[in-house]
Amino acid sequence: MKSDRCEFCEGKMEQQYVLTRFRYYGQTIYIENAPAWVCNKCGEQYFDAPVYKRLERIAQQRDHIQNTISFPLAEFDMVIT
């Protein structure tokens, strides 16, 4: 973390534990309680390098993940009737 300011909106970054969506080689996994820096204005999330590395490691080991969640995945431009 080079500064505690958001590079997009200059908002203040605060450390929070978040449910993050992590994309890895076209796969998407969700990781709970990841320590992230979250902008209090625009909500942009950043991860420190060691945290990011760990997220990658978790993604690489996704075959070992026991818990799966399912949720409705909708497209914003889906037809509403």
Contact stretch for Zn ion (CB under 5 A) within 3-11, 14-22, 51-59, 67-75: 3-11
Q: How many CB atoms lie within 10 A of CB 13?
A: 20
Instruction: Out of 30, 44, 45, 51, point to the residue binding Zn ion (CB under 5 A).
Output: 44
Place of tokens 């690489």: 60
CB of 7 to Zn ion, least distance (A): 8
Q: How far apart are CA 51 and CA 34, in angstroms?
A: 8
CB of 38 to Zn ion, least distance (A): 9
CB of 40 to Zn ion, least distance (A): 8
Tokens of 72: 């409705």
